[in-house]
Structure 1
Amino acid sequence: MNIDIFEKVLIVEGKSDKTKVKNILKEPVEIICTNGTISLAKLDELIELLFEKDVYILFDSDAAGERLRKQFKREMPQAAHLYIDRMYREVATAPEHHLATVLLGANIDVHSEYLERG
């Protein structure tokens, strides 16, 4: 993971979330997976790595995602939290146009065709 070349970093829960979001992004954004959980040591390491980066958090709208989000709010308060609509529950299953709209709302450039599909 070579975070130095990226200004923006997006933290997601799983690999399927990463794959889905990566296809939508138009600008270079480092995407980091927590794999649904993260140790305090690993989180501290991330905080050090991401000190001067624009950090965005995009987790599922379920109990596990909310627990993880609370942990990140506590340990990384400067991060911007992005939310998918609760009716989709998971980032990986949310429609691409919805994710594109959420990302664009955070000033992250997306491929316009994903916005048109909505």
Structure 2
Amino acid sequence: MPLNEKVIIVEGMTDKRRILDIVNEPVDIICTNGTIGVTKLDELVDQFYDKEVYIFVDADESGEKLRKLLKRELPHAKHLYIHREYREVATAPKKHLSAVLLQANIKVKGKYLL
């Protein structure tokens, strides 16, 4: 059960670690590990109905497929997008990720501010 008001859903552990290194406020980061089953998805929907949910997935085919599924199941979620040239959250420059997070009103560590 998420403890914080803000929840970021990502694809993998590398994405999670990268974002945790940037974020400067309490957030829960949930990994889908690229795919998500119906049972797990139902659990997420139930847990997140009163949370600020952010979807932050890769700019590739599997990321877009997951985004489409999550958009349908979590219509109140806000969608965060990395620039297509970076393709993956895990490898995108931290300054770019921090700019995306800041635009969503998620606090980031000072060293990543542009």
With the length of structure 1 as denominator, give the TM-score of the two structures: 0.94
Q: Per-residue CA shift, 1:55-92, capped at 9, x if unaligned?
A: 00000000000000000011111000000000000000
The separation in 2 between residues aligned to 1:63 and 1:40, in whole angstroms, is: 20
Structure 2 residue aligned with 1:61: 59
Residues 6-47 of structure 1: CA deviation (Å, up to 9, x unaligned):
000000000000000000000000000000000111101100
Q: Which position in structure 2 is the counterpart of 1:23?
A: 21
The percent of aligned pairs where both chains have the same amino acid is 58
Counterparts in 2 of 1:1-118, with a 5 A limit?
Answer: 2-3=1-2, 5-116=3-114
Looking at structure 2, the residues matched to 98 and 65 of structure 1 have their Cα atoms a distance apart, in angstroms, of 18
- How far apart, in 2, do the equivalents of 1:41 and 1:77 lie? 18
Letter in structure 1 aligned against 2:60: D
Q: Secondary structure at the match of 1:9?
A: strand
Q: Distance in 2 between matches of 1:47 and 1:72?
A: 9
TM-score, L = length of structure 2 = 0.98
1:81 partner SS: strand
- Figure out how many residues of one structure are paired with residues of the other and give that number: 114
Moved over 4 A (4+): none
Q: Structure 2 unaligned segments of length 5 or more: list them.
A: none
- Name the Cα RMSD after superposition: 0.7
